Structure 1
């Protein structure tokens, strides 16, 4: 702010000096022209009277003359105190070179400043030199007064401009200072929105800054939630693994006991892998906000998910049914939709019973994707909190689930501006808005591109559990 005020003051100083100099020059020019006109008129009167042998008028205050011979001696005139011009000037005028000069300075002030014109005059008695002078006292006083007034006006204007510049800069930069303080405290405490004023460029910056603070606050909250979730869920399997290892080292173990210990450790490691993948998936989806949408073929999506889990279902004597072709193409994110449906099918295989049915329905410009099994369904007391993080039904607490599967399903639905709900005894439904026009749906749809590395990771995290 100080630099801005100094810049304004410096600029105003230059402008005022230039403007004052211009005014002083114009007034001085006008005064000099008036003095020259008055001197010329007086010179004509004096030289005319001398040429005709008469006496010039003597009642002209501030005007005087002297008559010299060729050698510079004063022959007459009405100025007797001092010589108006020096002998050299008289000699030059006698030689035919008229001169005009000022005697006395504006600063420091002279006692008797005047302007004098020296010229040769032919008379009946011969050639003489006449010096005609006019006082510049009022001329110089007017210019000195003008300089004083300009200095006072410039100083007053500079002071006012500096105060106005300071006030303007302070008013303009106060919001920026508030933004700075808000940015300084962002992350260390709950971030409050910056107070905004009228709609201008700074206010629009404030809106952008508030949005940034909101995103920072959400990111911080996600980070805290992620750390809390990870520390809460990872503590138990890690503690159990440490306990089993400590027990295993207390005494020599038989091959059967060693195998049992390693099987238990492998189960805990698989649980850690599943939990880590589920946490990373959920955090990635929460952080990305709204999913990047593209055309997704619903039939291809359901077929791909069912094909991936059909071998696991067949191993337990169960089947996965898919609906007849619907021809529906929706705007969605193939990867996240695949992950959500995969979680639902995996949950049905883990905690349900009987065959699994995948369904797709498109009505009222909404597409509903559902997964149903033939088991007992969700306990009534569990339905209200089924989509909360780490929420598990009592019957699933001994099966190694992480409690993140349905939470991830809900996050996928929200990223598509849709909803997830338990719509039957053992049915979970994703309701997604909109679908593509018929001509768009008729085009070859894209399903999720799958690479070898991604297939491996999908298999690893296929069953995060309810």
Structure 2
């Protein structure tokens, strides 16, 4: 999951937690405040009713002021729990005889006939000239429940909306905060062995992102110097090796022509000449790689018919393939053309065919076709293809599979293919671990 999404989810979870906690706090606080307001009203009403009963008798309770007679009531009960007088919505006694003693002075909630929902009640004992009576004042809780229900509905509707808005805002803020990282990532993806001088963009703010970019740029600087030393060494070594290899080969060929030795010595000299050829090829390959890294490959670009290039490659390897009982066939769709260097393209394709002859099996097929503004050249055979491990780094330098370690070759063939194709503005890939595909721009594009 992308970091931006994870940050947004974390932000949304925090918002949800805050909304739940704040909602609970508001709900409980409102519930308590409403109960306190009702309790204060009941106490005031009980005091007023008690004064009326004490001064004027139980019948005077009907004149007790009620703000909402449909939602509240006042009752006077004698010592036996019999309803003497009342006012408001309750027409039957709200408290039974058995409950009087336990509820005196207490604020309780209970269902009362003729009252919507439950009611909150207060019972108070008053002494009169005729004996003790009980005053019961009550208030319907419908208004309280309506208010609490409105709060719950508001949170149920507004909460998800708030979370969505907060999540969108968090997603935008996360993108804004991670933009420098994304810019550095894109730039880092463009840096290659040929563009080691490029550096990551630094955000203007002196924060952690900038310090990370500065640290990575310092690392890129060290890598650039290391690559430069490596390229210089490879280039110098390949140049310096050519002369002694040429001298050694010349001396060996002269000795071979003299014929003044036994057959065993002749075979040894022939093998040494072949090794000199291999060393020469290795030095030349190293020089190609070094020049490609430096962007110094000299290409003689011209429009080339793909069929003609493939014919040249086939003619070069057809005898070698026949010696191993194999064949090379060409299959070109139409007449596609590319803008390239004939010798370098033949070298790249030759390396692929050479790899197929070394490690593949069966007929080698060279296919060419133009598709979506590019020319695709596929080199395939009937072998087992590339292993998963080898396919992931086949175009790296000195990459060799298990079977490649038992055969000749330094592991530079496909690396040179990638370098030469890239110099032409194309790309070399392995498709489905079965064959090599070279993609080149169409001539004239």
TM-score, normalised to structure 2, is 0.49
Higher relative contact order (CA 8 A, sep 6+): 1
Larger radius of gyration: 1
